[in-house]
Amino acid sequence: MVRLSALFVVASLTVSHAWVPAAFAPRTKATALKMALDYNDPLVAQEFNNVQPMTFEEVEEELLEKGIRVSQAMNEMDVKLMLVEVRLRFSGKLGGTTEKKRPEKFSSKFEEAMWTKPAFAEFYNGLKAKDDHNAMNAVTEYLTNPDLALQRYGKDYKGLLRKCEAALNAPPPVNSPTIVFSGFPANMGEAACRMTLESLGAVADFECAVDEDFPMILKGKVTFEDIESAKKAVAQYNGMNMGMGTSLELMSV
């Protein structure tokens, strides 16, 4: 979880307690509200992706419209994170306790990586724990537009981007002989899909079906007779591009 402080300047106008435009608001004592944003939360990730392309001036203007001043000490990433928090706070979406659910479709490559790449999620969460917003911004842009990110950050953040790439390509941990999978072509059929996985080791249990949301692929679950075969399957097939706009995904259960 990342602790983000948003500075809200509230002014009273007669008895209605209306917001005063920030340009005319009297100076008041600032109150820092400590809020927690979880970027594994699809709502937060989606709002962050909405804010990310905005310019500093656009973000500042929207905050001013809500009566919130931007401190001169804040950098662009700080201001964007503040706007994410403000939007969620004003919409009543912040502070919920509902269990996070994996989205059926990902809104961005960043969100997809946070859900499907455990090593990347751990790497990014480490940056969040350090409140290293500049590094977080560089990594997020690297997933969105690698070429542009390398132009902007390739010199100062070369080591960081190298670690990011390693985390993205790291095979997920395998903790049991059971693997859930998706992405094999539907025209393979159940029998061919099983044979493909059996080539890596004896299979104790197998089930698969056509994905209802994406009928061109199969999804299912396989249990090998030993964990080593499961590790081989993940190492060989996870992330493989099948040429249908999706990659194979194999995750340990």
> Using H for helix, E for strand and C for coil, what is the string for 75-97?
CHHHHHHHHHHHHHHHCCCCCCC
pLDDT at 169: 85
Amino acid at 177: P
* Residues of the chain predicted below pLDDT 50: 1-35, 97
pLDDT at 51: 86
- Scanning 18-68, the segments in alpha helix (DSSP H) are 42-51, 56-65
Ranges of each domain in the chain: 42-94, 109-169, 178-252
DSSP one-letter code for 234? H
Q: Give domain 178-252's CATH number out of 3.30.565.10, 3.30.70.330, 3.90.930.12, 3.50.50.60.
A: 3.30.70.330
Backbone dihedral angles phi then psi of residue 211, each to the nearest 5 degrees: -70, 120
What whole-number distance in Å separates Cα of residue 84 and Cα of residue 46? Answer: 10
For the segment 169-210, what is each residue's pLDDT rounded down to a tens digit? 887 788 899 999 999 999 999 999 999 999 999 999 999 999
pLDDT at 177: 95
Cα separation values, 209 from 33, 62, 185, 235, Å: 48, 47, 11, 23
- Scanning the chain, the segments in alpha helix (DSSP H) are 42-51, 56-65, 76-90, 109-116, 118-129, 133-144, 146-153, 158-169, 189-198, 227-237
